[in-house]
Structure 1
Amino acid sequence: MLQYDPLDCLPSAEDLPDSDDTPVDNELQDLIPGLLKAILAFVWADRMDWFFGVDMGIYYDPDQPAIAPDGFLSLGVERIIDENLRLAYLLWEEQRVPIMALEVISHQPGAEYNTKRKIYTQLEVLYYVIYSPHRQRKRTLEVYRLVDGKYQLQLGNPVWLPEVGLGIGSEIGTYQGITREWLYWYNEQGKRLLAPEERVQQAEQRAQLLAERLRSLGVDSDSLV
């Protein structure tokens, strides 16, 4: 991890741009990490020691521009710092390197396999996830783990991330009414964690089944409210 001199006059988030000013070039680069964040907000609702950034600048050097993954997960940090939330992620303030960085490739790989990979290696980001939704022949999801200073491809789908306590993988599903391949979190048994709208649908189905069962027993469910 990079070291910072506490006596240096380091800028705050208010002094720096919110991101690297590079716009996302398709909806998937926003929706895919957004879904992962939304799932975590449910399964880790009682935890306040994590943060998932979407297209947010990570500042690792006060004299260098930020690097902005499509998504990143950091553990051991405050989930909410104040009512204005985070403007950017400054390593000299957070004192925690993200444990995972996610890049969603549009049509052609850009800096994901060179410049960004080198920076994530330098920062010692443990997991580097690259998702290429437009690939036809090769695997769309690549999960790399940093081993002895080099990223090694991890096999399987999903891939279990023991330090996170979750797995990450891809499969066909529906999110915001869109059915396609998405990235999801998984439990240790390899079971996919539900998206928010799936949880709502599941709760509605259970309520409907309960109401039907009560009606079959001659009980008015409205009288129980």
Structure 2
Amino acid sequence: MLKYKPLDCLPPAEALPNSDDTPVDNELQDLIPHLLKSILAIVWANRWDWFFGVDMGIYYDPKEPAIVPDGFISLGVERFFDEGLRSSYVLWEENYIVPILVLEVVSHKPGGEYKRKKGMYAEMGVLYYAIYNPLRRQKPRLEVHHLVNGSYNLLSGNPIWLPEIGLGIDKERGTFQGITREWLYWYNEQGQRLLTPEEQLTEVQQVAQFELQRRQEAERRAQRLAEQLRNAGIEPDF
């Protein structure tokens, strides 16, 4: 008797469309999640149980088209499958592990982020839903919603702490790829902002420059001392 394997009846990732053919109409929708991902790539460099997708389709139902958030995090999954990497995030190939956080960056006009997509992510079981709207003036530009009993509750905090992820998230003015503006960043439990790759490189360069200056100053002091000893008729032995 043949055993029924449900997974065998579901389409694999390579057979599914990996684009919804909708162009990204706002550069921030690309840069903001990439900044968050690049910070994680350093902070979690030695972890292999996470994945951050940017503008990637999430297939949650074989009968439905993919939903494509601007960014999302999944925990407890393989960071890399193989050299081909993921073309899409397919729940039935990820042991049905739903993303723990989904991020939507609102473009020039809302695209259902506050209602339609919010309902879809709640139905999917996404624990945290973050919406960043840089155009807002009267209401918070960053909202993070927490799923409780099937409904989202708006969280507060500066930064907003996400205990299941072990990080906080907030907005702050800074520079990324030479662009100075308000960005989204990760924070530690003490509320300290985690450095971007560019900032870490600058910090390393500053430390290296300080060490070089310290060595050069030590060499100059040694040369002055040697000259003073020679003037006193003493040949230095260093």
TM-score range, shorter chain: over 0.9
Q: Distance in 2 between matches of 1:186 and 1:201?
A: 19
Task: Give the letter for the 2:121 counterpart.
Answer: Y
Secondary structure at the counterpart of residue 194 of structure 1: coil
Structure with the greater relative contact order (CA < 8 A, sep ≥ 6): 1 or 2?
1
Show the counterpart of 2:52. Answer: 52
Show the counterpart of 1:167. Answer: 168
- Cα 1:198–1:65 shift into 2, 3 Å: same
Give how far 1:137 is off. 2.4
Show the counterpart of 2:188. Answer: 187
Q: Which runs of 5+ in 2 are unaligned?
A: 221-238
- Cα 1:85–1:8 shift into 2, 3 Å: closer
Show the counterpart of 1:130. Answer: 131
Give how far 1:88 is off. 0.2
Residue correspondences, number: 216
Would the aligned equivalents of 2:185 and 2:193 in 1 still touch at CA under 8 Å? yes
Q: Distance in 2 between matches of 1:35 and 1:183?
A: 8
* Deviation string, structure 1 residues 167-204 (Cα, Å, up to 9, x no partner): 01110000000000000000000000001101100100
Show the counterpart of 1:105. Answer: 106
Would the aligned equivalents of 2:172 and 2:184 in 1 still touch at CA under 8 Å? yes
* Deviation string, structure 1 residues 63-116 (Cα, Å, up to 9, x no partner): 111000000000000000000100000001102100000000012211112221
Q: Which runs of 5+ in 1 are unaligned?
A: 220-225
Secondary structure at the counterpart of residue 206 of structure 2: helix
Give how far 1:7 is off. 5.7
Which structure has greater helix proportion?
2
Q: What TM-score comes out, normalization by structure 2 length?
A: 0.88
Show the counterpart of 2:28. Answer: 28
* Deviation string, structure 1 residues 20-73 (Cα, Å, up to 9, x no partner): 222211110000000000000000000000000000000011111100000000
* Deviation string, structure 1 residues 151-177 (Cα, Å, up to 9, x no partner): 000011210000000001110000000
Give how far 1:8 is off. 5.8
Q: What TM-score comes out, normalization by structure 1 length?
A: 0.93
Give how far 1:216 is off. 1.1
Q: Distance in 2 between matches of 1:144 and 1:7?
A: 32
Would the aligned equivalents of 2:71 and 2:103 in 1 still touch at CA under 8 Å? yes
Task: Give the letter for the 1:89 counterpart.
Answer: Y
Measured on the aligned residues, the alpha-carbon RMSD in Å equals 1.4
Identical amino acids, percent of aligned pairs: 66
Show the counterpart of 1:222. Answer: none
